[in-house]
Structure 1
Amino acid sequence: MSYLEGLMSGYYWFQLGLIFSLPYVIPRGMHFKKHITILYTSTILCLVLSFIISPMYSEFYAELSKEDIHYRFILNSSINFLLIMVFSLQALSHSKFFIKKISIDKQLAENEKERRTRVLSNLGHELRTQINSINGVTQLILGGDLKEVPNKKYFEILDYCNENMLLLVNDMLDIHKIESGHFELIKEPKALYKFLNKITIPFINKAEEKNLELISYIDAKLKDVVVNVDEKRIAQVIYNLISNAIKFTEQGKITFFVKVIDLNKTNVVIQFKVKDTGIGIAPHNLNKIFESFHQIKNEKNPVYGGTGLGLAISQSIIDAMNSEISVESRLGEGTCFQFTLKLQREEALPNAQINTDAFTGDFSLNSTILVVEDNMVSMMYAKKLLEKHVTKVYHGTNGAEAIERIKEHKDIDLVLLDLEMPVMNGFKAIEHIKKIRPDVIVIAFTANIPSTEILNKLDSLGFDDILSKPFNKHQLFTVLQQYTLQTEA
């Protein structure tokens, strides 16, 4: 029986060969038809050979001796073993080829991703620099005596458009960071109550233009509560939700609601809601609204403007805060977005952050400042803001000039240093500045969006703080007050 079983097993060798042939016919684009044809041809050929010479059917050849049967068994086994080896080597060859190709493609993709990131970062830097120039000139005009400003309404429109252009640029940079995995939060101790009470102010005019009621309820339990949070990112989420609520509401009201769910010594749990009486969202669209570049259209008003990035970015920000945005909506009745955050409490604000409204009237800073900036419009804007409120202002257009000014003027106690400049950039200039004057305060002056990587690099080089472009008067002097002495004008 063992001998017969051994003879019969030779018949099934070809089936084992087919198993080894499978990797050979994995779909490979345009060549798949060719490869599948080769497989079927090989299979049929193997099958025919097995039927012809298989010892299992040797009973039909009575004249065959045992030696002939044994010979046929060896022949059949050899053919099928050879077939297995061919397919195995072919599979190994293709596997190595595809592994190598995947490795090369991965490297090319990473290089392309890095190149696109660098290009987009440079593009964002240049766009924000130009936006800062437009913002600076507009603010200088509107910041003067309004009675003397001709065509004031046109400058206000320009200011509005400039702000929206900055939002679009930031949205594009944010979505790229999210998709490339470089998105991050920068947490600092913040008092949320005062900030949240003011957050709807920018939307009052928009709501009034559409005859909408904009209501804000902020839980009084948040008074004197300091939390560790990325305040700018929370503001970005709330701005997106309120802006969308106004955009998609034709009548009724928008309500911004903040409630403390739990408050203890270490943490606070806060629920945020933005509710409107707008057009609502169809049930089949609820899962789509958080997709990038996706906008919900309405038959009566199919176009509402925007990029469709706001909710996608907002969801990513809340995800990074270990929560999620939920939505409830009914067509024709309105929509309610809400999210809950658990935030770590801090004992108190740093002293430098307490006086946030110090620069509302006439004031002066007992400081001599060096502004180093290669963009002439940005330079003009910064100097105009500073000249009325500081002891003296010097200027330079690159790092080399900054070093010369530091050597020449011993009274300089603070430097606003741009990072990207010709001749010598800010990264190199600060090394020389700190060697000459270790006590001087140096603030990075840049159109780059701050990230942990940039902040760590600036800190290691000796920068004391950072001021991002575009900036306004309040942002400039809020940073400066931390390092200079304020006196009454």
Structure 2
Amino acid sequence: MVYIVLGLSTLILSYLEGLMSGYYWFQLALLFVLPYVIRHEIYFQKHTNILYSITILIMVISVIISPMYSTYYENITREQTHYRFILNSSVAFVLIMVFSLQGLGHNKSYIKKIYNDKKRAVSEKDRRTKVLSNLGHELRTQINSINGVTQLILDGGAEDTPKNSTKYFEILDYCNNNMLLLVNDMLDIHKIESGRFELVIEPKIIYDFLSKITIPFINKAEEKNLKLHSYIDPKLKDVVVNIDEKRFAQVVYNLISNAIKFTEQGEITFSAEVVTLENDTVSIQFKVKDTGVGIAPKDIKKVFESFHQIKNEINPVYGGTGLGLAISQSIIEAMNSEIKIESKLNKGTSFIFPLTLERLPVLPNKLEIKTVYNDDFSINANVLLVEDNVISMMYAKKILEKRVAKIYEATNGIEAIESIKANRDIDLVFLDLEMPQMNGFKAITHIKAYNPSLTVIAFTANIPSTELITKLDDLGFDDILSKPFNKQDVFGILKKYTDDVLV
């Protein structure tokens, strides 16, 4: 469009203005070269000023010394004058085209370079995402192995383990759980930074899980001679809300864990008080209050920064990755709220956040309440375990033995398909997703094609997300069991998908 407009303007001005239009276009051609030169001299303001000065000087001299009509044309014919004028205008226009094309060419090369850099950056980001995802998967697999051995030892009790050694295995179990939390924090912060963080909303009886949320920290508080209090507003009894229970619990766990960590004497209180209770919504103010070391005013905003830990001259850093509060704030922001801090040095800190949750008119008995199953039961069903990790296989077998009729084993998708075809009495399949030769994503297609009614449970160390759950559902999986798992998780699956329970 620029070239067309310039070309038409040249023709029109040549017709209307005579020779002056020719001089004008020569000067304009000179101006067109300036952006091209200045681009390479962007860091040299002095050189740029010199270029502009020379251009303006030449234009001024041209206006002063150039007559309106030159005597050079007096002795030539009208046709010769017209020819020379067209020649001058054409040269000027070609110069404009050349310099403009040079400028556009360089702009295009810069844009292409930026585009290629962006593609490389996206590729690098995808590569890092894949590496981090694989790292998380492998870490969770190894943690599951530790968890399996630990649970086997602890379940064995005094029969298999000397009494004096039991406490060490309990410590191992505690360390294993902490390692799992760290891995989950690492993956969560990556999801948050990449914009892939999401909530899984489900209907829950809020009073039931809030009243139990501080139980995991009772022993930890007692070890430091701290009092741990919990107050749940009685108005919340039988109130059903839509909430991501696991993510909410993660926030409270982080806040209580930090409160215990930074409190040497006194008490920690978790409270949930109703602000408003409507037919379709309920507003609750949550608070975690401690009597610990407190936070300096200058550091309050920093506590929510990733990998940031507050230091002071008196107390050392208390450990951790500095991710817990950053993740907690992101979770609460995803729930359309914000965590606020009230703190005084050496007097304590309060973390406060209000939540407005959707209330559902669902009776409590219509909700699925998590049941704690006794070990003393058996199910008349045959189970196929498909797992390439030896320790995970051993732990799952230990849980299932004496509780199911028969256990079949496979270490990859190919063996699983062959086992299902050879043993028509298999009722339930625990199918690992990541295996050599043939993974679970491919194996499920063949299994369902052979026996569509067979119940197949995804067995995975990946953290379940909406994307993963949707993918598994589309492939034909009936449910998902996430590693590391415990016997109650397995018992829940058995109870849910088998009918012949013999107590």
Q: Please report the TM-score for the alignment, with normalisation by the length of structure 2.
A: 0.85
Cα deviation for residue 152 of structure 1 reads 1.3
1 CA distance for matches of 2:171 and 2:61?
90
Which residue pairs with 1:133 in the alignment? 145
Structure 1, residues 44-102: CA drift from partner, whole Å, max 9, x if none?
322332343332x78xxxxx7863799xxx9x999999997776545433322222122
Q: Secondary structure at the match of 2:496?
A: coil
| Structure 2 partner of 1:413 | 427
3-state SS, counterpart of residue 484 of structure 2? coil
- Following superposition of structure 1 onto structure 2, how do residues 185-200 of structure 1 map, counting pairs within 5 Å? 185-200=199-214
Quickly say closer, same or farther: Cα 1:260–1:146, change in 2 above 3 A.
farther
Letter in 2 for 1:132: N
Is the CA contact 2:427–2:454 (under 8 Å) kept in the aligned structure 1? yes
Shift of 1:487: 3.8
- The one of 111, 124, 133 aligned to 1:112: 124
Q: Which moved more, 1:230-239 or 1:400-409?
A: 400-409
Contact 1:191–1:227 (8 Å) recurs in 2: yes
1:367-378 → structure 2 map (5 Å cutoff): 367-378=381-392
Question: What is residue 304 of structure 2 aligned with on the other side?
Answer: 290
Q: Are 2:368 and 1:353 equivalent residues in the alignment?
A: yes
Kindly indicate whether the alpha-carbon contact (under 8 Å) linking 1:254 and 1:275 is maintained by their aligned counterparts in 2: yes
- 2:110 matches 1:98: yes
Q: How far is 1:437 from its partner?
A: 2.2
Contact 1:396 1:402 in 2 (8 A): yes
Residues 283 and 267 (structure 1 numbering): CA distance in 2 closer, same or farther, change over 3 Å?
A: same
CA–CA distance in structure 2, aligned partners of residues 477 and 269 of structure 1: 36
The one-letter amino acid paired with 1:362 is D
Residue identity matched to 2:70: E
Kindly indicate whether the alpha-carbon contact (under 8 Å) linking 1:258 and 1:271 is maintained by their aligned counterparts in 2. Answer: yes
The answer as to whether partners of 1:25 and 1:36 remain within 8 angstroms in 2 is no
User: Are positions 1:142 and 2:154 aligned together?
Assistant: yes
1:39 matched to 2:43? The reply is no
> Counterpart amino acid of 2:376?
D
CA shift in 2, pair 1:166/1:183, >3 Å: same
2:268 corresponds to 1:259 = no
Provide, for residues 154-188 of structure 1, a one-character-per-residue CA deviation record: whole Å limited to 9, x for no partner: 21111111111111111111111111111111122
Segment drifting more, 142-151 vs 317-326: 142-151
Instruction: Spell out, residue by residue over 1:300-326, the C-alpha distance to the aligned partner (whole angstroms, 9 max, x if none).
Output: 123111111111111111111121111
Mapping for residues 290-439 of structure 1, pairs under 5 Å: 290-346=304-360, 347-348=362-363, 353-354=368-369, 356-439=370-453
Pick the structure with greater CA Rg. 2
- On the 8 A contact 2:29/2:95 being kept in 1, the answer is no
Conserved? CA contact 1:262–1:269, under 8 Å = yes
- State the partner residue of 1:177: 191
1:136-285 to structure 2, matched below 5 A, reads: 136-146=148-158, 148-150=160-162, 151-285=165-299
- For 1:156 and 1:244, how far apart are their aligned partners in 2? 22
**Distance of aligned partners of 1:100 and 1:391 in 2 relative to their CA distance in 1, 3 Å threshold:** same
Q: Counterpart amino acid of 2:142?
A: Q
Q: Which residue of 2 aligns with 1:3?
A: none
2: CA distance between counterparts of 1:15 and 1:282? 63
Deviation at 1:287, TM superposition (A): 1.7
1:447 CA displacement? 0.4
Q: CA deviation at 1:345?
A: 2.6
Give the partner amino acid of 2:59: S
Q: Deviations over 1:393-435 (max 9, x none)?
A: 2221111221222223232211111011112211121122222
Runs of 5+ in structure 2 lacking a partner? Answer: 1-18, 74-84
Identity of aligned residues (%): 63
2:58 to 49, 55, 58: 49
**In structure 1, distance between residues paired with 2:172 and 2:381:** 33
Q: Could you tell me how far 1:23 is from its partner in structure 2?
A: 7.5
TM superposition shift of 1:364: 2.5
Match of 1:61 in 2: none
Moved more, 120-129 or 273-282: 273-282
Q: Is the 8 A contact 2:185 2:327 kept in 1?
A: yes
Letter in 2 for 1:188: E
Corresponding letter in the other structure for 2:61: I
DSSP-derived class of the 2:197 partner: coil
Aligned equivalents of 1:68, 1:262: Cα separation in 2: 94
Counterpart CA distance in 1 for 2:236 and 2:68 is 100
- Work out the CA distance in 2 between the residues paired with 1:239 and 1:169: 15
Counterpart-to-counterpart distance in 2, 1:68 and 1:51? 21
Hey, what's the Cα distance between the residues in 1 that align with 2:182 and 2:203?
28
Worse-superposed segment, 231-240 or 265-274: 265-274
Query: SS of 2:156's equivalent?
Result: coil
- Please tell me the root mean square deviation across aligned C-alpha atoms, in Å: 3.3
Task: Assess if the C-alpha contact under 8 Å between 1:189 and 1:349 holds in 2.
Answer: no
The answer to which of 264-273 and 36-45 deviates more is 36-45
